[in-house]
Amino acid sequence: MTNAGSRELGVLLKARRPGALDMAVRFSADIVFSAGLEWDMAANVVDRIWIGDAVFDLSLRDQLVVLMECRRVLHPSGELTLWEDDSDEHRNSFARWAEFIGLVERSGNAGTAAWTKPSPENAAQPLVSILIPSCNPRYFAEALDSALAQTWSPCEIIICDDCETDAIEKIVATRSGPKSIRYIKNPERLRARKNYEKLFSLAQGSFLKFLNDDDVLEPECVETLLRPLLANPDITLSTSHRWRIDGASRVIDDMPATQEITHSDVIVDGITLASAVIMYGLNFIGEPSTALLRKSAFAFRPHLDGEQPFHFNGEEVRGAVDLAMWSRALVQGDAAFIAKRLSRFRSHGEQAQAREDVLQRSVDGIRNLQAQWIELGLFRRYPPHLLRCRSLDESGAAVGEWHPQPVLSFPQPPESPERAIATWRATRRHAFDTAA
């Protein structure tokens, strides 16, 4: 339905009240749809949404906005049901994009198609998997020792050894402590991405912490990054600023990607964070060693990417597995960004990123990711120099209202954030938008 230039989707919502998860009262609600804008409804308050086939009159870009808003307002374990449509093509398409933004398919009633919002980890002391893809023994001991020194106790450490010698195995044999270490020697070299995928398949924790074998974690890294994930069910990724170190483990000057982007701990709307990184082509979220991930964001999605956990909408993002992971997680939820530096990224001549062919693959992968992001219209809500944020308190809980916040390391236009957002949304076609 169209009304005064905006689309309205009629949805039937099952009301939710404190202490009553199964309230039988139902009411109809017409939600006025305007591209890129949130519905006038709080997050995590609705148990059930029924949506009719009017959704297929929308462009794919606008369908994605509707799906992301459905996910936002649904309570964990809440359900979205598609009804009034008998087309397998429509249902399969809807299923694909529902999985893309983090909903999980379940059997509906009377042949209807339905998806649920996953419930978060609710254990008081959840297991974290620290995953070390190893191939170079030179810095490996320092990396492993930093994993063993983590203040968060329920950790398993899994090492997949891709080294051609037994040097890494010998180092592991000298380490012991309260944390479990699982060592696996790859029978043949897997290289970086396949080694990541193997580690993911072995992880038993609800949260994943990759650690490259030349990087270092601060002792409180896991515990600090985990705190906002436990306090906020919609966060899928937690990261922080990081140090840059050289081959001798000395702190060196920041490069553009390691400069500070915020002075305080914040929750960041996932789409605005990914958009800033992708559109600028600057990974200030960090390398794989920097972030902590909710494992459920990488669950098997049968309508989308088969058995490939680190693809984004079918795109491999060759040479930049970290950006593929960050993008996949952030279209499914929000991020925590901690101002303190909680890890150390090593720059040295032996790393693969120093090779020209690897660098070119990374550039090509980022360009392909940008093309995907633009085609899906995920850049539309905020200009990429701004993030949509809420503050975090010391316990990791969100406080205050959402507000625009500049990325400190990016150049800022003279206009206010509010004016920049209004101008961005009013632009009918951006110069880079070939899909408009």
- For all residues of the chain together, what is the average pLDDT? 88
For residue 416, the model assigns a pLDDT of 97
- What would the mean pLDDT of 163-173 be, rounded to a whole number? 97
Give me the percent of the chain exceeding a pLDDT of 90.
69
Least confident range of 64-78, 119-133, 296-310, 364-378: 296-310
| Integer Cα distance of 325 and 338 in angstroms | 19
**179/170 Cα distance (integer angstroms):** 18
Give me the pLDDT at residue 226, please. 98
Average pLDDT over residues 222-243: 97
What is the model's pLDDT at position 356?
A: 77
Percentages of the chain per state (helix, strand, coil), in multiples of 5:
30, 30, 40
With bands split at pLDDT 50, 70 and 90, how would you rate the model's confidence at 34? low
Helix and strand totals (H; E) in the chain: 10, 18
pLDDT value at 33 more than 70: no
Q: Are 181 and 157 in contact (CB under 8 A)?
A: yes
Q: Average of pLDDT values for 9-29?
A: 38
Please give the Cα distance from 51 to 53 (Å, whole number).
Answer: 7
Instruction: Decide if 389 contacts 268 (C-beta within 8 A).
Output: yes
What's the pLDDT tens digit per position in 369-428? 999 999 999 999 999 999 999 999 999 999 999 999 999 999 999 999 999 999 999 998
Q: Tell me the mean pLDDT in the region 214-222.
A: 98
pLDDT of residue 262: 98
pLDDT at residue 394 in the model? 94
Range scoring the smallest mean pLDDT among 49-53, 81-85, 144-148, 346-350: 81-85
* Structural domains of the chain in order of their starting residue, each with its CATH number: 2-116 (no CATH), 128-373 (3.90.550.10)
Q: What is the pLDDT of residue 45?
A: 85
The predicted structure's pLDDT at residue 109: 59
Q: Which pLDDT belongs to residue 35?
A: 52
Does residue 13 register a pLDDT over 50? no
Specify the pLDDT at position 20.
33
Contact 233, 122 (CB under 8 A): no
Q: What is the pLDDT of residue 88?
A: 85
**If you average pLDDT over residues 113-131, what whole number do you get?**
91
pLDDT at 38: 74
Locate the DSSP E strands across 135-276: 155-161, 180-185, 207-210, 216-217, 235-245, 266-268
Mind listing the pLDDT tens digit for each residue in 316-334? 888 889 999 999 999 999 9
Give the helix/strand (H/E) hosting 336. Answer: strand 334-346
Question: Picking from 25-34, 110-119, 381-390, which range would have the lowest pLDDT averaged per residue?
Answer: 25-34
pLDDT of residue 158: 98
**Mean pLDDT, residues 341-367 taken together:** 83
- Over residues 112-123, mean pLDDT: 87
Alpha helices in 304-400 (DSSP H): 321-330, 356-375
Give me the pLDDT at residue 348, please.
Answer: 82
36 pLDDT tier (thresholds 50, 70, 90): low
Contact between residue 187 and residue 162 where contact means Cβ atoms under 8 Å apart: no
